[in-house]
């Protein structure tokens, strides 16, 4: 069975989703979904281990060899992403049962878990596959379920947010599809590896340039790169807390994975960075994203909005690392993928706990919560410190490597700007800390107690991961390094 791991990774959650309809009680569906996600996590861990020891794993679906059939091609990069997605999904699901009882009507619980599993399977499918069209198919699965999940939010504005996301996401997916179609027309193949061999022959044509432009713009819409980020804040703010925690940690990461995969593996480094001025383009967009979004975050009144804007800023950091396009730069991006997933899932889950007790995440409601919900608030503080990049947290590790990469390339002013961006993070995290610890509790919130155990456990698993991987960086750095070196064609 070990040889079938790549396909099981995707198939297990995919087939589990329809099975949920056969279970009657929502508690049972939750347990089932949790088990499935845990199984996916186990598979991804095994896959990563296999890749680290024996290199790329190829799996031919339907038994047809590559350009004719579809193949799964797991290298360091995919395996790393698979691990991030499935681990976050599992921990977040742990909290789901308690959290959605307050946020989603009971008769919709099974649909929630079905859509959640479909979304998980979609993201895993995008990452695992080695076929460009297969990417699009799974992109549709993950996006469609995402729109529905976001629209399930209690606030009626969730519907409008989901609708905006639907329009923007569909435009993005269509652009990617147009790009894939044009590539197919010029090469006659859809397999990524095969594309990378056949594209250089036709790289000078205007059609391939158009294909590249469409793919890049489509992906940037999906990853909410500034200034294409407008759908993100509301979608994250009004979605159910569990959904926000899951998507903030994974959805944009998958888009960044696609960006890396298409620019580095499919089109090739030399083409990608000469066809469009990606260096300077992404550097400027990344930096303006960091500043615009961080400043916007400072002025938010809803804490979910605040952290959503902070997510856009963090995407900016990843894009800056990408624009450097050296092994260290890419490594910093990959590290930040991992680390940011840990931070944001912890933070949004903690907000889910606040939502559970208070029913709102307006900043004004946080008054005095430091005393009333000390464990939850401590989690938010540590998550916030990690966001800023304080040593001993994961945030420090990725920022360290990012600055290292930038300085290696001699971009001193950029390094300064990155540090300045972190200072802005201090400001918006401080606003929450000040509210929670230096103000007396609101009279309306007098009876608020600490969040239930079932929420605190997953939150603190993620918080501890934030600290653990900030100190013991062997796993994340080793994998990120191997992935980035293999993308640059250096044999480790």
Partner 1 sequence: MESLIDIVLLAFLVGIAFAIVWMKDLLAVIMLLGIYGLLSASFFVAMDAVDVAFTEASVGAGISTLLMLVTIAMTGRSEHPVRHKPFLALAVVIITGSLLIYGTLDMPYFGSAQAPVHQHVAPRYINDSIEEVGVPNIVTSVLASYRAFDTFGEVVVIFTAGMGVLALLSVVRRPKNTTGDKARDIAKIDLINDSMHEQHLVLRIVTKMLIPFIFLYAFYVQFHGDYGPGGGFQAGVIFASAIFLYAMLFGMSTARRVINQSFIQLLAAIGVLLYGSVGVVSLLNGKNFFDYSALSVDPIAGQHLGILLIELGVGCTVASVMVIIFFSFADRKDNGQNLESNGIENNLKENNKK
Query: Residue 200, Cα to own-chain centre: how many angstroms?
Result: 31
Contact 71, 96 (CB under 8 A): no
The whole-angstrom separation of Cα 318 and Cα 313 is 9
Q: Does 156 bind partner 1 (CB under 8 A)?
A: no
Residues in region 198-227 near partner 1 by CB under 8 A: 198, 202, 205-211, 213-214
- Angle subtended at Cα 113 by Cα 110 and Cα 115, rounded to the nearest 5 degrees: 110
**Residue from 5, 9, 17, 349 in contact with partner 1 (CB under 8 A):** 17
When asked if residue 114 is in the footprint of partner 1 (CB under 8 A), the reply is yes
C-alpha 244/C-alpha 349 separation (Å) is: 8
* Main-chain dihedrals φ then ψ at residue 446, nearest 5 degrees: -60, -35
In sequence order, what are the residues at sequence separation of 6 or more whose Cβ sits closer than 8 angstroms to the Cβ of residue 148? 115, 162
Shortest Cβ 102–partner 1 spacing (Å):
17
Q: What is the distance between the alpha carbons of residues 158 and 166, in angstroms, rounded to a whole number?
A: 12
Nearer to partner 1, 189 or 367 (CB): 189
| 23 in contact with partner 1 (CB under 8 A) | no
Contact between 134 and partner 1 by CB under 8 A: the answer reads yes
The least CB distance from residue 455 to partner 1, in Å, is 23
Measured CA to CA, the distance from residue 254 to residue 127 in angstroms comes to 7
Nearer to partner 1, 128 or 318 (CB): 128
Q: Minimum Å distance from CB 58 to partner 1?
A: 11
Quick check: 125 binds partner 1 (CB under 8 A)? yes
Quick one: tokens of 463? 């918080």
Region of 182-190, 260-268, 421-429, 442-450 interacting with partner 1 (CB under 8 A): 182-190
What SS3 class is residue 362? strand
Closest approach, Cβ 62 to partner 1, in A, equals 4
| Residues 66-105, mask of contacts with partner 1 (x by CB under 8 A) | -xxxx-----------------------------------
226 φ/ψ angles, rounded to the nearest 5 degrees: -55, 135
Give the one residue of 31, 140, 164, 275 binding partner 1; rule: CB under 8 A: 140
**What are 257's two structure tokens?**
């994975």
Q: How far is the CB of 345 from partner 1 (least distance, A)?
A: 23
* Cα–Cα distances in angstroms (integers) from residue 445 to residues 99, 107, 282, 307, 361, in the given order: 19, 29, 45, 23, 13
CB of 173 to partner 1, least distance (A): 11
- 9 Cβ contact list (under 8 Å, min separation 6): 40, 43, 44, 47, 82, 86, 124, 128
Candidate list 51, 74, 94, 148; residue touching partner 1; CB under 8 A: 148
Residue 197 makes contact with partner 1 by CB under 8 A: no
* 178 near partner 1 (CB under 8 A): yes
Residue ranges binding partner 1 (CB under 8 A): 4, 7, 11, 14-15, 17-19, 21-22, 59-64, 67-70, 107-108, 111-112, 114-115, 118, 121-122, 125, 131, 133-134, 137-138, 140-141, 144-145, 147-148, 151-152, 178, 182, 184-190, 198, 202, 205-211, 213-214
């Amino acid at each position: 069975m070990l040889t079938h791991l790549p396909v099981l990774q995707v198939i297990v959650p995919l087939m589990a989703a329809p099975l949920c309809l056969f279970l009657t009680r929502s508690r049972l569906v939750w347990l089932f979904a949790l088990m499935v996600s845990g199984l996916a996590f186990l598979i991804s861990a095994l896959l990563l281990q296999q890749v680290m020891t024996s290199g790329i794993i190829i799996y031919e679906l339907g038994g047809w060899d590559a350009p004719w059939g579809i193949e799964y091609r797991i290298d360091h990069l995919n395996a790393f992403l698979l691990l991030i997605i499935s681990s976050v999904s599992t921990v977040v699901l742990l909290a789901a049962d308690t959290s959605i009882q307050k946020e989603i009507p009971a008769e919709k619980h099974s649909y929630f878990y079905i859509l959640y599993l479909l979304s998980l399977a979609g993201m895993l499918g995008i990452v695992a596959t080695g076929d460009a069209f297969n990417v699009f198919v799974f992109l549709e699965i993950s996006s469609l379920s995402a729109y529905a999940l976001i629209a399930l939010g209690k606030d009626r504005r969730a519907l409008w947010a989901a609708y905006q996301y639907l329009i923007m996401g569909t435009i993005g997916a269509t652009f990617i599809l147009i790009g894939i179609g044009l590539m197919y027309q010029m090469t006659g193949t859809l397999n990524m590896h095969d594309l990378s061999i056949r594209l250089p022959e036709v790289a000078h044509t205007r059609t391939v340039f158009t294909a590249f432009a469409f793919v890049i713009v489509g992906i940037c819409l999906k990853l909410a790169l500034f200034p294409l980020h407008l759908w993100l804040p509301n979608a994250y703010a009004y979605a159910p807390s569990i959904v926000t925690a899951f998507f903030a940690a994974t959805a944009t990461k998958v888009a960044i994975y696609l960006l890396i995969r298409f620019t580095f593996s499919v089109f090739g480094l030399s083409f990608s960075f000469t066809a469009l001025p990606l260096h300077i383009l992404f550097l400027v967009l990344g930096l303006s994203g960091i500043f615009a979004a961080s400043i916007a975050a400072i002025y938010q009144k809803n804490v979910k909005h605040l952290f959503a804007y902070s997510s856009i800023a963090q995407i900016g950091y990843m894009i800056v690392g990408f624009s450097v396009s050296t092994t260290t730069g890419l490594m910093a991006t990959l590290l930040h993928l991992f680390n940011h997933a840990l931070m944001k899932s912890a933070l949004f889950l903690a907000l889910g706990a606040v939502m559970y007790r208070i029913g709102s995440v307006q900043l004004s409601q946080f008054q005095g919560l430091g005393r009333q919900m000390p464990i939850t608030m401590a989690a938010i503080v540590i998550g916030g410190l990690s966001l800023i990049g304080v040593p001993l947290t994961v945030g420090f590790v990725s920022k360290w490597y990012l600055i290292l990469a930038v300085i290696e390339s001699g971009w001193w002013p950029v390094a300064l700007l990155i540090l300045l961006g972190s200072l802005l993070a201090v400001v918006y995290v401080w606003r929450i800390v000040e509210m929670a610890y230096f103000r007396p509790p609101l009279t309306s919130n007098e009876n608020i107690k600490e969040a239930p155990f079932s929420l605190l456990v997953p939150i603190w698993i993620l918080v501890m991961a934030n600290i653990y991987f900030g100190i013991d960086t062997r796993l994340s750095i080793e994998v990120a390094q191997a992935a980035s070196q293999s993308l640059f064609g250096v044999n480790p």
